[in-house]
A and B are shown apart, each in its own frame.
Chain A
Amino acid sequence: MTTDTTTQDTTPGANAPGEAVLDARGVTMRFGGLTAVRNVDLTVNSGEIVGLIGPNGAGKTTFFNCLTGLYIPTEGEVRFRGDVLPPKSFKVTAAGIARTFQNIRLFGNMTVLENVLVGRHTRTKEGFWSAVLRGPGFHRAEKASRERAMELLEFIGLERKADHLARNLPYGEQRKLEIARALASEPGLLLLDEPTAGMNPQETRATEELVFAIRDKGIAVLVIEHDMRFIFNLCDRVAVLVQGEKLVEGDSATVQGDERVIAAYLGEPFDNAPGDEEIAEVEAAEAQTDAPGKETDR
């Protein structure tokens, strides 16, 4: 596994190496009587790729939404670079956390370049009057944005399709474009929600390379994924979420060897054993993860 963190071409949003970028402490999320996430701690250090796995319904996406400002945790707090996260998703992005979506949410009727330019929104200031009056500042900012966006498109290898409509891109390129759009906001932490869902092995390999390249830019990455091979190849640390609780956290070997994880996935009863029905559910979920074109859990 390649863990050399070359931070030569650091991006403006990059972090100082070694420091905790994201620090979630005791995050609990209740919806009425249902506790979707219970007392989860998770830290992501700069230059790290952290994986978050768990069977379907384990609360991964709920936890994710707590990190992106869509939900405000019922208990506990999430700190980003030492500050508690603001409660609005656009403010979270401005603070430096960018995300992609499990089901691709590009702006389909905008061009590839425009999609990335939208990602630059928080890092530019030009308002309505600037746009109408078109002073020199506007042209300068617009030019800089376009250059930055083209750099990102080159980074993901879509520079030749800059003028295509996003909806017309093939699936794998749409996923890449979503990542480029997220990178355009110059994040310190990138959250990827199932980045390889629906991809074939080659595309998964390419995504892996891309995530390493992003890490090498000095951006911390948190990945939710079902594809175990992908996760264990990629991540420096892996956290396993089962039924809303963090079961174990550690490097790939630790997690792969942990019998509670195997139990959670393969269905042998563990300490606070779930009933047979839950096991069956988990097994079904496991079966699904191996099938190509698996269903999304939202």
Chain B
Amino acid sequence: MTTQTTAPQTPGTPAAPAQSGLIGIPANIARALTLGGAALTIVSTFMSWTWTSDFPGDLTVYGYPGGLQVLVLIGSILTTLFSLAGYDIKGLRHLVPAGGDAALRFAALATFATAWYTVIAISDELGGIVNLDPGGYIVAIATLATLVGALALPFEKPEPDPIDPDDDSWEKFKNKAAHQRATIKAAFAAGAPRPVGKLPSWAEILVIVAVMALGLTVFTYGIGTQYDELFIGFLLTAGFGFAALNKSGLVAQATQITSRHQTITVFGAFIAAALFPFTQTDDQYATIGVYILIFATVALGLNIVVGLAGLLDLGYVAFLGVGAYAAALVSGSPSSPWNVHFPFWAAVLVGAAASLTFGVLIGAPTLRLRGDYLAIVTLGFGEIFRITVQNLDGTSGPDITNGSNGISSIPDLNILGWNLGATHDILGFTIGRFANYFLLMLVITAIVVLVFRRSGDSRIGRAWVAIREDETAALAMGINGFKVKLIAFAVGASLAGLAGTVQAHVTYTVTPEQYQFAGPIPPNSAFLLAAVVLGGMGTIGGPLIGASLLYLIPNKLQFLGDYQLFAFGVALILLMRFRPEGLVANQRRQLEFHEEAEAPTVLSKTGA
């Protein structure tokens, strides 16, 4: 049976390793089962899954998928396509440049997980499986069949280690378990994707536009999920679905194309992001959008300090605070001791300059330290900022910051006659207050991205990376380590201050509690660092995605409540165990952490 397998196979070799699936079903039946199951799943999403509309999303309608059914539908369409590609159908082979079976397994897993989560959630919330309609049973069985079929598809199994006759039973057990792990790993492993050929440039730009559109759609869908169940279903589908696309090699090909047109990609991403407020009918989700953007921008600034220069800064949120307080003090707020009202551009300069000064003041004495010591000292300075601000209330110290009450009633910005507090109508779209600030914040994000990209790929950026890699060698190469580190620290601080000036106006109020080391609400220093590490150090996309996830997940999953930080900790540990380079891997880091993997040694682009 020569079906398309994940590993390249030399035809006609008599000693080819035995190929079989994880489940003992003949390959042709398994393939048929997968396809049939996926097709049946598509059908079932158009059926009613439960009799009552008590379960959110209204899954009772025939002929029109709703809520979680849409997610299952997307998953099953993906499964069907990958499954058909397994039959070597002309045209569909472009879908699976890295071999289809691993992708098929992940797609089947995505559909299965979402469908069964839905079915279980219905049964659990409504009290028993009697609440399921025929559609619910069908989808459960169909997705299970798909998954079984996908797992039964043959793949090249690794050879078990020879058994040492002297082994005791525990060692034999360990040996066996290791082999099982390797087998499962092989089942989900994909081959190397074939490189994408040179397309005409309009086609490549079209691909980039499609990728951006997909990204915007996914993001908008995720931010707009209205109930916990749908958000969990979204996470399941998006997570496994992305893994499927990744294993199929499509992600690698898209990355190749985007790296050929980096500038267009960056512009495209900003246009896609700028379109976000226009997809929203009210200001509800633009609020989340602007908070995510503030968090992500600050995380990106931190990425210069941590990701490029390798300086572990645990008090970074203080710079955001300095910027926010500086902007608040000159905003004309009644709680500010100074009765001045600066225009926005001046407030931005004041905020950035204040953060810069604070950054240099903190950096100059502390940057002589290395590694953990620097982390502890910056943690201390972060807290010193918060406590100082809390005490400048007129009783413990001079009355500047109004103590723990903070500076409140910060007026809305007015830039060139455009009042950001008011609702505007543009081309029939309503742009509310938070959407205004979202667009303003996007400009700040663009500045930070620009600074990150340009400084990273220059003499100073190389000096930062060199210091991170080996400080002694960097000094021996003539790099003034202290100066270069201080620049990184100061740049990071000013960028955070820049974001702070907008944040002060978005939140109306700045209080010391917003700038803690750790707390349930991002941004705080711990979450900022987590966003950078989770997303991927030294990348631009990483902190943006990491910050989005870290903000959305606690925001959407209200039921987590007190367990939110616990769940966060567990997730972080799991991620560090299985993907230490972060969600968006810097090519260098990926090589650093997965040395055994035969990764391409040639970097297509030297930019960070």
Assuming the contacts A90-B480, A121-B463, A121-B479, asked whether A131 and B473 have C-beta atoms less than 8 A apart, the reply is no
Q: Does A195 make an interface contact (CB < 8 A)? A: no
B455 proximity list for chain A (CB < 8 A): 128, 131-132
Asked whether, in the complex, the Cβ of B606 is within 8 Å of the Cβ of A113, the reply is: yes
Q: Does B387 make an interface contact (CB < 8 A)? A: no
Assuming the contacts A90-B475, A90-B478, A165-B601, asked whether A114 and B606 have C-beta atoms less than 8 A apart, the reply is yes
Interface size class of A (residues with CB under 8 A): 35 or more
Please report the C-alpha to C-alpha distance between residue A124 and residue B479 in the assembled complex, in whole angstroms. 11
Asked whether, in the complex, the Cβ of A121 is within 8 Å of the Cβ of B478, the reply is: yes
Asked whether, in the complex, the Cβ of B460 is within 8 Å of the Cβ of A126, the reply is: yes
Asked whether, in the complex, the Cβ of B603 is within 8 Å of the Cβ of A185, the reply is: no
Question: Shortest beta-carbon distance, A193 to chain B, in Å?
Answer: 11
B604 proximity list for chain A (CB < 8 A): 163
Asked whether, in the complex, the Cβ of B606 is within 8 Å of the Cβ of A111, the reply is: yes
Q: Does B474 make an interface contact (CB < 8 A)? A: yes
The tally of residues in B whose CB lies under 8 Å from a CB in A reads 36
Asked whether, in the complex, the Cβ of B591 is within 8 Å of the Cβ of A165, the reply is: yes
Please report the C-alpha to C-alpha distance between residue A182 and residue B459 in the assembled complex, in whole angstroms. 16
Question: Shortest beta-carbon distance, B203 to chain A, in Å?
Answer: 26
Question: Shortest beta-carbon distance, A226 to chain B, in Å?
Answer: 22
Residues 77-130 (chain A) with a chain B CB within 8 angstroms: 88-90, 93-94, 98-99, 101, 105-111, 113-114, 117-122, 124, 126-128, 130
Asked whether, in the complex, the Cβ of B592 is within 8 Å of the Cβ of A109, the reply is: yes
Asked whether, in the complex, the Cβ of A107 is within 8 Å of the Cβ of B465, the reply is: yes
Question: Shortest beta-carbon distance, B598 to chain A, in Å?
Answer: 11
Assuming the contacts A109-B469, A165-B591, asked whether A128 and B487 have C-beta atoms less than 8 A apart, the reply is yes
Question: Shortest beta-carbon distance, B596 to chain A, in Å?
Answer: 13
Question: Chain B residue with minimal CB distance to A126?
Answer: B459
Please report the C-alpha to C-alpha distance between residue A185 and residue B473 in the assembled complex, in whole angstroms. 13
Asked whether, in the complex, the Cβ of A126 is within 8 Å of the Cβ of B469, the reply is: no
Contact flags B445-483 to A (C-beta < 8 A → 1, else 0) = 000001100110111111101100110111111111100
B457 proximity list for chain A (CB < 8 A): 131
Q: Does A68 make an interface contact (CB < 8 A)? A: yes
Please report the C-alpha to C-alpha distance between residue A126 and residue B462 in the assembled complex, in whole angstroms. 12
Asked whether, in the complex, the Cβ of B602 is within 8 Å of the Cβ of A126, the reply is: no
Question: Shortest beta-carbon distance, B263 to chain A, in Å?
Answer: 12
Please report the C-alpha to C-alpha distance between residue A164 and residue B604 in the assembled complex, in whole angstroms. 10
Q: Does B74 make an interface contact (CB < 8 A)? A: no
The residue from A93, A163, A168 contacting B477, defined by CB atoms under 8 A apart: A93
Assuming the contacts A108-B469, A118-B474, A163-B603, asked whether A131 and B454 have C-beta atoms less than 8 A apart, the reply is yes
A126 proximity list for chain B (CB < 8 A): 458-460
Contact flags B569-592 to A (C-beta < 8 A → 1, else 0) = 000000000000000000011011
Q: Does A142 make an interface contact (CB < 8 A)? A: yes
A141 proximity list for chain B (CB < 8 A): 459
Q: Does A60 make an interface contact (CB < 8 A)? A: no
Q: Does B296 make an interface contact (CB < 8 A)? A: no
The residue from A105, A142, A145, A165 contacting B473, defined by CB atoms under 8 A apart: A105
Asked whether, in the complex, the Cβ of A131 is within 8 Å of the Cβ of B461, the reply is: yes
Q: Does B113 make an interface contact (CB < 8 A)? A: no
B473 proximity list for chain A (CB < 8 A): 101, 105-107
Asked whether, in the complex, the Cβ of B450 is within 8 Å of the Cβ of A132, the reply is: yes
B461 proximity list for chain A (CB < 8 A): 131
The residue from A98, A118, A134 contacting B466, defined by CB atoms under 8 A apart: A118
Q: Does A230 make an interface contact (CB < 8 A)? A: no
A185 proximity list for chain B (CB < 8 A): 477-478
Asked whether, in the complex, the Cβ of A109 is within 8 Å of the Cβ of B465, the reply is: yes
Question: Chain A residue with minimal CB distance to B458?
Answer: A131
B469 proximity list for chain A (CB < 8 A): 107-110
Residues 170-216 (chain A) with a chain B CB within 8 angstroms: 181-182, 185
Q: Which of B463, B465, B476 has the most CB of A within 10 A?
A: B476
Please report the C-alpha to C-alpha distance between residue A142 and residue B459 in the assembled complex, in whole angstroms. 8
Question: Chain B residue with minimal CB distance to A100?
Answer: B476
Asked whether, in the complex, the Cβ of B460 is within 8 Å of the Cβ of A131, the reply is: yes
B466 proximity list for chain A (CB < 8 A): 107, 110, 118, 121
Asked whether, in the complex, the Cβ of A107 is within 8 Å of the Cβ of B603, the reply is: no
The residue from A101, A106, A122, A167 contacting B478, defined by CB atoms under 8 A apart: A122
Question: Chain A residue with minimal CB distance to B472?
Answer: A105
A120 proximity list for chain B (CB < 8 A): 459
Q: Does B504 make an interface contact (CB < 8 A)? A: no
Question: Shortest beta-carbon distance, B266 to chain A, in Å?
Answer: 14
Residues 141-156 (chain A) with a chain B CB within 8 angstroms: 141-142, 145
Q: Does A138 make an interface contact (CB < 8 A)? A: yes
B493 proximity list for chain A (CB < 8 A): none
A88 proximity list for chain B (CB < 8 A): 475
Asked whether, in the complex, the Cβ of B602 is within 8 Å of the Cβ of A118, the reply is: no
Asked whether, in the complex, the Cβ of A117 is within 8 Å of the Cβ of B481, the reply is: no
Please report the C-alpha to C-alpha distance between residue A165 and residue B601 in the assembled complex, in whole angstroms. 7
Asked whether, in the complex, the Cβ of A90 is within 8 Å of the Cβ of B481, the reply is: yes
A132 proximity list for chain B (CB < 8 A): 450-451, 454-455
Question: Shortest beta-carbon distance, B449 to chain A, in Å?
Answer: 12
Asked whether, in the complex, the Cβ of B475 is within 8 Å of the Cβ of A142, the reply is: no
Please report the C-alpha to C-alpha distance between residue A233 and residue B173 in the assembled complex, in whole angstroms. 59
Please report the C-alpha to C-alpha distance between residue A196 and residue B455 in the assembled complex, in whole angstroms. 37
Q: Which of B459, B477, B588 has the most CB of A within 10 A?
A: B477
Question: Shortest beta-carbon distance, A168 to chain B, in Å?
Answer: 5
B479 proximity list for chain A (CB < 8 A): 90, 118, 121-122
A134 proximity list for chain B (CB < 8 A): 454
Question: Chain B residue with minimal CB distance to A185?
Answer: B478
Q: Which of B457, B480, B604 has the most CB of A within 10 A?
A: B480
Asked whether, in the complex, the Cβ of B480 is within 8 Å of the Cβ of A109, the reply is: no
Question: Shortest beta-carbon distance, B485 to chain A, in Å?
Answer: 12
Assuming the contacts A107-B465, A107-B469, A132-B454, asked whether A68 and B476 have C-beta atoms less than 8 A apart, the reply is yes
B477 proximity list for chain A (CB < 8 A): 90, 93, 98, 118-119, 121-122, 181-182, 185
Question: Chain A residue with minimal CB distance to B595?
Answer: A167
Asked whether, in the complex, the Cβ of B602 is within 8 Å of the Cβ of A110, the reply is: no
Asked whether, in the complex, the Cβ of A164 is within 8 Å of the Cβ of B602, the reply is: yes
The residue from B454, B478, B589 contacting A109, defined by CB atoms under 8 A apart: B589
Asked whether, in the complex, the Cβ of B465 is within 8 Å of the Cβ of A110, the reply is: yes
A109 proximity list for chain B (CB < 8 A): 465, 469, 588-589, 591-592
Question: Shortest beta-carbon distance, A209 to chain B, in Å?
Answer: 24
Please report the C-alpha to C-alpha distance between residue A105 and residue B602 in the assembled complex, in whole angstroms. 21
B472 proximity list for chain A (CB < 8 A): 105
Q: Does B491 make an interface contact (CB < 8 A)? A: yes
Question: Shortest beta-carbon distance, A118 to chain B, in Å?
Answer: 5
Asked whether, in the complex, the Cβ of B476 is within 8 Å of the Cβ of A107, the reply is: no
A119 proximity list for chain B (CB < 8 A): 477-478
Question: Shortest beta-carbon distance, B466 to chain A, in Å?
Answer: 5
Question: Chain A residue with minimal CB distance to B589?
Answer: A109
Asked whether, in the complex, the Cβ of B491 is within 8 Å of the Cβ of A128, the reply is: yes
A108 proximity list for chain B (CB < 8 A): 469, 592
Asked whether, in the complex, the Cβ of A89 is within 8 Å of the Cβ of B459, the reply is: no
Assuming the contacts A107-B469, A114-B606, asked whether A94 and B478 have C-beta atoms less than 8 A apart, the reply is yes
Question: Chain B residue with minimal CB distance to A95?
Answer: B478
Asked whether, in the complex, the Cβ of B462 is within 8 Å of the Cβ of A110, the reply is: yes
Please report the C-alpha to C-alpha distance between residue A1 and residue B417 in the assembled complex, in whole angstroms. 82
Question: Chain A residue with minimal CB distance to B538?
Answer: A109
Please report the C-alpha to C-alpha distance between residue A224 and residue B365 in the assembled complex, in whole angstroms. 37
Given pairs A90-B477, A131-B460, A164-B603, 19 additional interface contacts (CB within 8 A): A90-B476, A90-B479, A106-B473, A107-B473, A108-B592, A109-B591, A110-B588, A114-B606, A126-B458, A131-B455, A131-B461, A132-B454, A134-B454, A142-B458, A163-B604, A163-B606, A164-B601, A165-B591, A167-B591
Pairs across A and B, CB under 8 Å, 22 listed: A89-B475, A90-B475, A93-B477, A98-B476, A101-B476, A105-B472, A107-B473, A109-B588, A114-B606, A117-B462, A118-B462, A118-B466, A121-B463, A121-B479, A122-B479, A126-B460, A127-B459, A128-B460, A131-B459, A163-B604, A165-B588, A182-B477
